[in-house]
Chain A
Amino acid sequence: MAAEAAAAPLAPPRRFPTLRRLFRHRLFLIGFVLFGAMVVLAVGADLIAPHPPQRMQFRMRFRPPGEGFLLGSDNFGRDILSRLVFGARLSLGIGFAVVLVTGIAGTIIGLAAGYFRRLDEPLMRAMDALMAFPAVMLALAIAAALGPSAVNAVIALSVVYIPRTARIVRASVLVVREMEYVQAAFAFGRRHLWILWRHVLPNSLAPLIVQLTFIFAYAVLAESILSFLGVGPPPPTPTWGNMIAEGKDYIREAWWIAMWPGLAICVTVLGLNLLGDGLRDVLDPRLKVQQG
Chain B
Amino acid sequence: MLRFAATRLVAALPVLLLVSLVSFSVMHLIPGDPAAMIAGPAATNQEIEAIRHALGLDRPFLERLAAWYWHVLQGDFGRSILLNTTVWQAIVDRLPVTFSLSVLALLMTVAVGVPAGVLAALRANTTVDAAVTAMALLGVSVPSFWLALMLIVLFAVVLEWLPTGGYVPFAESPRDWFRSLLMPSVSLALLQIGLLARITRATMLEVLQQDYVRTARAKGLPRAMVIGKHALKNVMVPVITVIGISFGLLLSGSIVIETVYSLPGIGRLLATSIFGRDYPVIQGTLLLTATMLVLLNLVVDLLYAAIDPRVRYGR
Interfacial residues, chain A to chain B (CB-CB below 8 A): 125-126, 128-130, 132-138, 140-142, 144-147, 217, 221, 224-225, 228-231, 244, 247-248, 251-252, 255, 258-259, 261-262, 265-266, 269-270, 273-274, 277, 288-290, 292
**B129-156 at interface with A (beta carbon < 8 Å):** 137-138, 140-143, 145-147, 149-150, 152-153
Q: Is the CB of A133 within 8 A of B22?
A: yes
Assess the B157–A144 pair: CB atoms within 8 A. Answer: no
Contact A144 B274 (CB under 8 A): yes
**Number of A-B residue pairs having CB atoms within 8 Å of each other in the complex:** 153
Is there contact, CB below 8 Å, between A137 and B203?
Answer: no
Q: What are the residues of chain B within 8 A of A140 when measuring CB–CB?
A: 255, 270-271, 274
Segment with Cβ contacts to A, from B1-9, B219-227, B287-295: B287-295
CB < 8 Å: which of A137, A146, A288 contacts B30? A146
Which 6 pairs between the two chains have the least Cβ-Cβ distance? A129-B18, A262-B146, A136-B252, A270-B141, A134-B252, A269-B141
Task: Give Cα A141 to B275, complex, Å.
Answer: 10
Shortest beta-carbon distance from A179 to chain B in Å: 22
- A221→B253 CA distance, assembly (Å): 11
Is the pair B242, A230 in contact by a Cβ cutoff of 8 Å? Answer: no
B228 in contact (CB, < 8 A): no
Tell me the bound Cα distance from A289 to B293 in angstroms. Answer: 22
* B residues 168-205 touching A (CB-CB < 8 Å): 195, 198-199, 202-203, 205
Are A244 and B275 in touch, CB under 8 angstroms?
no
Residue of A nearest to B192 (CB): A292
* Minimum C-beta distance from B315 to chain A (A): 13
Per-position binary interface string of chain B over residues 1-40, scored 1 when its CB falls under 8 Å from any chain A CB and 0 otherwise: 0000000000000110011011000111111000000000
Known contacts A132-B15, A135-B249, A229-B256; 13 further A-B pairs (Cβ under 8 A): A134-B248, A134-B249, A135-B252, A137-B255, A140-B271, A141-B274, A144-B277, A217-B141, A247-B149, A262-B142, A269-B140, A270-B137, A292-B242
B residues engaging A (CB < 8 A)? 14-15, 18-19, 21-22, 26-31, 137-138, 140-143, 145-147, 149-150, 152-153, 157, 195, 198-199, 202-203, 205-206, 238, 242, 245, 248-249, 251-253, 255-256, 259-260, 270-271, 274-275, 277, 282, 285-286, 289-291, 293-294, 297
What is the minimal beta-carbon distance from B117 to any residue of chain A, in angstroms?
A: 11
CA–CA, A137 to B250, complex, Å?
11
Contact across chains for B31 and A147 when beta carbons are under 8 A apart:
yes
Contact of A290 among B22, B199, B270 (CB under 8 A): B199
CB contacts (< 8 Å) of A224 on chain B: these are 143, 145-146
A248→B26 contact, CB < 8 A: no
The CA-CA distance from A236 to B293 in the complex, in Å, is 37
A135 to chain B: closest CB distance in Å?
Answer: 6
Q: Which of B28, B205, B252: most chain A CB closer than 10 A?
A: B252
What are the residues of chain A within 8 A of B149 when measuring CB–CB? 244, 247-248, 251, 258, 262
Instruction: Return the contact of B150 from the options A125, A126, A229, A259 (Cβ within 8 A).
Output: A259
Q: Which of chain B's residues have a CB closer than 8 A to the CB of A144?
A: 274-275, 277
